[in-house]
Structure 1
């Protein structure tokens, strides 16, 4: 699956928007990648699963709740690899686990996430997985906004790999859009 094919799939799902947007980490941006549009579009979801499948080895997969769950589920189906879900916080009921699913001590896990801006959600997920006994070295994301996630992840001994970058998505952005803002 080529980068151009993935960019086309994201655009066909109408997931790239231009305007003034507040981001989850509190910053603002002149563009927004709507994960709910690309994660609910069957064609785009299939393209993402195929691209992730090319990049995972024979490892357990982990999806970051909530956005990474549909991505890890379709990647699991595409590859036949099992997965777990890493929660952002413990629930006060049920098992109260931060990691849901079957995970063995020392098992290698690759984290799958939707969009990386600062990378904090992926860092939190990796830490929860490590506390549960997993070996986590890689984070795969659909879009790297190129706003520091790679550096933040590296500081936690995690390698970031993205299917597409902000530069890929915004190569032909409207002239009045400052993609660096």
Structure 2
């Protein structure tokens, strides 16, 4: 995923599944990272975006598995609302169930490392 980070200032991932990928990608390319929450947590900082400030930054959004890309697109919207520019969305695995089409329809660049055909799974 680091191969797609050249034009990004920050690596971000939606909470839970993509946090480890975002952290590993950020470490591999020497860039800061952020976690995008679905909802504000009362017991934490109360922020939707934890970590690096993304305002006026170019952000690579990484996600573990793309089915319809709903969660990734929500995270992209949260980042955009915070003042970030999304460089692209990169998925570790594309399940080929609409993620690519939905990401592109939302005006973002889509990349996947592998898809279900590569893995020979249905």
TM-score norm. by structure 2 comes to: 0.92
Q: Is the 8 A contact 2:54 2:79 kept in 1?
A: no
Q: Larger relative contact order (C-alpha < 8 A, sep ≥ 6)?
A: 2
CA RMSD of aligned residues (A): 1.3
Match of 1:83 in 2: 33
SS at match of 2:41: coil
CA shift, 1:90, in A, is 1.4
In 1, the alpha carbon distance for the partners of 2:94 and 2:27 equals 24
For 2:98 and 2:54, the matched residues in 1 are separated by 31
Q: Which has the larger radius of gyration?
A: 1
1:53–1:79 CA contact under 8 A, matched in 2: yes
Number of positions where the alignment pairs a residue of Structure 1 with one of Structure 2 = 121
Q: What is the CA–CA distance in structure 2 between the aligned matches of 1:95 and 1:133, rounded to whole Å? A: 19
Do the aligned partners of 2:65 and 2:91 also contact (CA within 8 Å) in 1?
Answer: yes
Change (3 A) 1:58 1:155: closer
The structure with the greater share of residues assigned to helix is 1
**Which runs of no fewer than 5 residues in structure 1 stay unpaired?**
1-51, 174-178
Alpha-carbon shift at residue 121 of structure 1 (Å): 0.8
Alpha-carbon distance in structure 2 between the residues aligned to 1:55 and 1:169? 21
Matched, 1:143 2:98: no
1:114-144 Cα deviation digits (max 9, x unpaired): 0000000100100111111100141011000
User: 1:139 & 1:113 partners in 2: Cα distance?
Assistant: 7
Contact 2:7–2:87, Cα closer than 8 Å, also in 1: no
Which residue in 2 is equivalent to 1:65?
Answer: 15
Match of 1:47 in 2: none
CA distance in structure 2 between the aligned counterparts of 1:137 and 1:56, rounded to whole angstroms? 9
TM (norm. structure 1) is: 0.63
In structure 2, the partner of 1:44 is none
- Alignment CA distance shift 1:143-1:83 (3 Å): same
Q: How far did residue 58 of structure 1 move?
A: 4.3
